[in-house]
Structure 1
Amino acid sequence: MELSNIFVSIIIPVIELNDYLRESIYYISKLSHPYFEIILIPNNPINSGLNNNHRLSLKFIPAGKIGPADKRDIGAKFAKGEILAFIDDDAYPRKDWLTNALKHFKDPEVAAVGGPAVTPEHDSFWQKVSGAVFLSRFAGGHPDHYWPGKGVYEVDDLPSVNLLVRKDIFEKVGGFNCKYWPGEDTKLCLAIKKLNKKI
């Protein structure tokens, strides 16, 4: 697998166009890895209001009022990428997000890669307080999912806010189990681990 040429499908479930999504698209436009498409799965068609001055490859797939796991599965069906990159509409990737994540797929046993979901520095006080809740083992359970620091290590579970998965493995395990919410990302990771693949 030639890492520099991997095509990635960035899949974002969203209810409707919002300022968080606009900001997320702006940050995605700055990614250092150039080979990607963005698949947005809103409830209803988005006809205007999203400035695409960045000339990004954007697909809109209106899906109705369904959950985020269902929307991610729909996005995966339309994805052209070898790697599916799941991110939330209120998440903003760093410029090196894909570059850093993709290098781990050089190991053919690695099926999924993820990283922390850090509250941005420019967020409001209350947004930072909300983010701090997830840093607690009492409230969040896995603070390492929300704060960088340990380096690279294998895990059994990652949240879908920042999750990249090989498309062939995603299809093999049947995608997200939409009966579980929250927890569909945990179910996906458990199915991947049952294939004896690394996360």
Structure 2
Amino acid sequence: MKQEQVFFSIIIPTYNRPEQLATCLGAIAHLDYPRDRFEVIVVDDGSHTPIEPVVAPFRQQLDITLITQSNAGPATARNKGAVKAKGELLVFTDDDCTPAPDWLNALANHFTTSPNGLIGGRAINALPDNLFSTASQLLIDYLYNYYNTHPNQATFFASNNFALAKETFHHLGGFDTTFPLAAGEDREWCDRWLNYGYRMIYAPKAQVYHAHHLTLRRFWRQHFNYGRGAFHFHQLRAKRNLDKMKVEPFSFYSNLLIYPFSQPSKQPSLLLALLLFLSQVANVVGFFWEQSAQTVNLNSQGSKTACN
């Protein structure tokens, strides 16, 4: 695949974040990549206020399409955007991310040698003064270091920064839309991708800046929901008759807690370590909460069937 022939379709799901979306589109409008070699597809996932006023100012600068849907989650939104995509390569990011100017060039360079790969870039915390946003991004950084030790044999990417061939995306059926929340569908996608025998390549020079503003309450809810998504992910793997996920060794968690002390940050390392511990507690609570909720639901359905 020659770099000059690459045509990207950038797909952005959005929901009730007009200001962040405007910042994201502003960064895309300044990408160092030929304007006739990429398009932008914004999928409004049922926002309370119209998104067209946010998109309209960029129509003179970008080949941009706005799609609207009733609220169904980012997985459905991404799939809908992929159906409309004209590009041979799909690039996924989120409305609270701002790509670096050389983002598409960095991705294109990897596709010249790995046209059938899933290319995952790096996310950088855009809110270093926010303790909870810093801790959340630090966890992602740790996971990337752990699961992507060998860049050409990566195993996990977040869906706010990766790219792949459109044909392969549709061949694998797109994102799984059965996840109850926006948590875990990217993990399931990576697992399914690898199960089909495709490669994942980590491209740390393909960078986006992630501005996910968090409070303590939102931090807990985020990781609680990740736990709920993890339970659903395990269920899906069981339905596909795949081996059970291996439990990470104790060293995974001990190294996670000391990780903040080795990373430069404006925030106190001890507080970051405590928040990483809290994230794992929230994850476990969310996992078993979802398991209990689904058990109650199945018992309720069973009782109704018996009565009928």
Calculate the TM-score normalised by the size of structure 2: 0.57
Closer, same or farther: CA 40–109 of 1 in aligned 2, 3 Å? closer
Q: Tell me the C-alpha RMSD between the 2 structures.
A: 2.4
Q: Which residue of 1 aligns with 2:101?
A: 95
Matched, 1:47 2:52: yes
Residues 151/37 of structure 1: CA separation in 2 closer, same or farther (3 Å cut): farther
Quote the offset at 1:53 in angstroms. Answer: 6.5
Seen in structure 2, the aligned counterparts of structure 1 residues 58 and 93 have a Cα distance that, compared at 3 Å, is same
Q: What is the CA-CA distance between 1:198 and the residue it aligns to?
A: 0.9
Q: Which residue of 2 aligns with 1:188?
A: 189
DSSP 3-state at the match of 1:71? helix
- Taking a change above 3 Å as real, the CA distance of residues 101 and 175 of structure 1, as seen in their structure-2 partners, is same
In our comparison, the structure showing a higher alpha carbon Rg is: 2
Measured at CA, do residues 97 and 190 of structure 1 come closer, stay the same or move farther in structure 2, by a change above 3 Å?
Answer: same
Amino acid at match of 1:117: A
Are 1:125 and 2:124 matched, yes or no?
A: no
SS of the residue corresponding to residue 38 of structure 1 reads strand
CA drift at 1:143: 4.8
Q: 1:62 to 1:142 in 2, by over 3 A?
A: same
Q: Distance in 1 between matches of 2:101 and 2:123?
A: 15
SS in 1 for 2:53: coil
- Return the match for 2:138 from 118, 135, 138: 135
Once residues 164 and 157 of structure 1 are traced to their aligned partners in structure 2, the CA distance between those partners, rounded to angstroms, is 13
2:94/2:160 contact within 8 Å kept: yes
**Contact 1:9 1:36 survives alignment (8 Å):** yes
What's the secondary structure of 1:170's corresponding residue?
helix
Higher relative contact order structure (alpha carbons within 8 Å, sequence separation ≥ 6): 1
Secondary structure of 1:40's aligned partner: strand
Say if 2:5 is the partner of 1:5.
yes
Scaled by the length of structure 1, what TM-score is found? 0.85
Q: Is the 8 A contact 1:40 1:58 kept in 2?
A: yes
State the match for 2:167 in structure 1.
168
Deviating more after overlay: 101-110 vs 173-182: 101-110
How far did 1:101 drift?
1.1
Task: Give the direction of change, closer, same or farther, for the CA distance of 1:133–1:4 in structure 2 (3 Å limit).
Answer: same
Output the CA distance in 1 between the equivalents of 2:4 and 2:60: 21
**Percent identity (aligned):** 29
Distance of 1:25 and 1:72 partners within structure 2: 17
2:86 is equivalent to residue 80 of structure 1: yes
- Provide structure 2 residue ranges, at least 5 long, that are not aligned to the other structure: 201-308
- Paired AA for residue 20 in structure 2: Y
**C-alpha distance in 2, partners of 1:105/1:79?**
18
Kindly tell me: are residues 134 and 55 of structure 1, through their superposed partners in 2, closer, same or farther at Cα, counting changes over 3 Å? closer
Cα distance in structure 2, aligned partners of 1:101 and 1:109:
11
SS of structure 2 residue aligned to 1:21: helix
CA change 1:100–1:108 in 2 (3 A) is: closer
- How many residues of Structure 1 are paired with residues of Structure 2 in the alignment? 191
| Residue-by-residue CA offset, 1:10-39 (whole Å, 9 max, x unaligned) | 000001451111111011111112211110
User: Does structure 2 retain, via aligned residues, the 8 Å contact 1:31–1:97?
Assistant: yes
CA deviations 1:153-174 (Å, max 9, x no partner) are: 4211211010111111101100
CA distance in 2, matches of 1:151, 1:96: 23
Contact 2:43 2:66 (8 Å CA) reproduced: yes
CA distance in 2, matches of 1:170, 1:8: 14
SS in 2 for 1:116: strand
Larger helix share, 1 or 2? 2
